[in-house]
Amino acid sequence: MHDYDSFNEDVICTLGAAAGEDNVALVEPMSRHTTFQIGGPADVLVTPETPEALVKVLDTCAIAGVPVTVVGNGSDLL
């Protein structure tokens, strides 16, 4: 599914602590998050609710070497 080996249990737990466990989804269909309701699965989808949580999530990904794609509202994705 991906060509990196950065998502291990520790990274997932750290993301959950940063954004809230309910805001971390594994193998999440992006069709649920785009205007045209299309898209394959994201390895991990994190939806931080505060600027502070966003900073923690981005820091965690940077330290772990995890690539990040910021999606926004999904209206510009096909």
The answer, yes or no, to whether residue 64 has pLDDT greater than 60, is yes
Residues of the chain with pLDDT > 90: what percent? Answer: 71
Question: Residue 74 — pLDDT band, cuts 50, 70, 90?
Answer: confident
And the tokens for 4?
Answer: 């990196």
Q: What is the mean predicted confidence (pLDDT) over 33-57?
A: 94
The answer, yes or no, to whether residue 4 has pLDDT greater than 90, is no
Give the angle 54-35-59 at the CA atoms, nearest 5°: 15
